[in-house]
Amino acid sequence: MGGKITIIGSGAWGTAMAKVLAEKEKEVVLWCLEEAAAAEINTQHRNTRFLPGVELPPHLRGVTDVVKAAEGAEFLILASPSLYLLDTVKKILPVHSIREGETAIAVITKGFLPSPKGPRLILETLEDYLPGFYRQSLVYIAGPSHAEEVARGKITGLIAASENPKNSIRFRDLLRSGRLLVFSSFDVRGVQVAAAAKNVIAIAFGMLDALKTAPPESAHPLGTMFGDGTESLLLAAGLNEIQTLGRAMGATHPETFTSISGVGDLDVTCRSVFGRNRRFGREIIEKNILKPFSCLDELLARIGEIGYLPEGVAAAKYVKILSEKHKLKMPISLGLYHILNRETEPDEFLKEFLHDLA
């Protein structure tokens, strides 16, 4: 496996993945949307906007031409945010090595994608646009991971899920190192649902955590009722919702939700200080960050004003639609949707949620 590897998307996770692969003496190209980001990677060997404090291998190349970046790649990993993923993929469809199915493609983006038929999983959506070679051959990579830790060599576990066992193993072997443990799975749908829906739960978790840890002078009366056990209660109930949605959307292995791609990913997303969705939930309480937005759609349209991208915002909208489509009871996810849509206040939601559990 000495061929070219391309990462599409120079955010924190894409950059961390590129660093890990470049450290294995691979030829790695990292596509950047902005010229300044590519120039910084090539001259200073850093990506200070998305991965500050991390030095990148000197032979890792940043480029801004997405077609040239993808052309001739043996492996291509899509890391663009879900809001922009499909538009990015459409740009690389003319690439010869993709038209001929010569490039193995994996996705590390988390979320759902919109379609005329409603929200869909990422891989099934991409299969409608990519050449037929890629049907049931794409690989989805997820697990309890944060770019900031992976880039610093912290031991991390990932799942490489595909309906094509050979491709799952190829990406498993490509990524695996002494500190990055990668396991294969055939439950492509279950792993994708877990990766997307956990971000919704993490926003709710962040709100609860902010109320729980508020200083006495600004503490909300409800916060005095919350402790570590309350957070575990929310996490466990959230996992049940994720599993409920996963089964409805075709998950094939129950253990997906009790493994690292399910409970593992949910736990780290809710509890880690690196979690953007947890941070967003906390800032809903601490900074009233939703105040400038009248509804969820306006929040999505102006999401750049937040300064970072909490993927759970879009996922909350799509999970609501999916839960209604499949007639599922998902009170945490639905409650968070109502908060983001400015229909209810966080303390009202949490009070009602805990009351319903009693």
Same domain, 178 and 233: no
Same domain, 32 and 126: yes
Q: Which residue, 170, 186, 202, sits at the end of a domain? A: 186
CATH number at residue 98: 3.40.50.720
Domain that holds residue 351: 191-357
Same domain, 88 and 198: no
Same domain, 322 and 203: yes
> Looking at residue 130, what DSSP letter applies?
S
State both tokens at 132.
């037929």
Residue linked to tokens 């055939």 = 186
Phi, psi for residue 205 in degrees, rounded to 5: -60, -40
Burial 269-289 (b: 16+ CB within 10 A, else e): bbebeebbbbbbbbbbbbeeb
Same domain, 152 and 200: no
Same domain, 270 and 136: no
Q: Which residue, 152, 186, 220, sits at the end of a domain? A: 186
Same domain, 140 and 219: no
Same domain, 9 and 130: yes
Question: d(Cα 121, Cα 271) in Å, to the nearest integer?
Answer: 25
**pLDDT one digit per residue (tens) for the chain, 358 residues:** 359 999 999 999 999 999 999 999 999 999 999 999 999 999 999 999 999 999 999 999 999 999 999 999 999 999 999 999 999 999 999 999 999 999 999 999 999 999 988 999 999 999 999 999 999 999 999 999 999 999 999 999 999 999 999 999 999 999 999 899 999 999 999 999 999 999 999 999 999 999 998 887 776 777 788 889 999 999 999 999 999 999 999 999 999 999 999 999 999 999 999 999 999 999 999 999 999 999 999 999 999 999 999 999 999 999 999 999 999 999 999 999 999 999 999 888 877 877 776 6
Distances (CA, A) of 353 to 64, 174, 200, 267, 318: 47, 44, 15, 20, 20
Question: d(Cα 296, Cα 138) in Å, to the nearest integer?
Answer: 31
Q: Which residue, 164, 186, 208, sits at the end of a domain? A: 186
Distances (CA, A) of 63 to 25, 66, 85, 87, 155: 19, 7, 18, 18, 29
Same domain, 330 and 207: yes
Same domain, 250 and 315: yes
Considering the entire predicted model, what is its pTM? 0.94
Question: d(Cα 201, Cα 244) in Å, to the nearest integer?
Answer: 14
The total number of structural domains that make up the chain? 2
Same domain, 148 and 89: yes
> Which listed residue (198, 212, 317, 320) is catalytic?
198
Q: What stretch of H or E contains 171? A: helix 165-175
- For 40-106, give the DSSP string: HHHHTS-BTTTBTT-PPPTT-EEES-HHHHHTT-SEEEE-S-HHHHHHHHHHHTT-HHHHTT-SEEE
Name every residue whose Cβ is closer than 8 Å to that of residue 106 and which is 6 or more positions away in sequence.
75, 76, 77, 78, 138, 139, 140, 141, 160, 171
Same domain, 209 and 182: no
Decide if 351 is catalytic. Answer: no
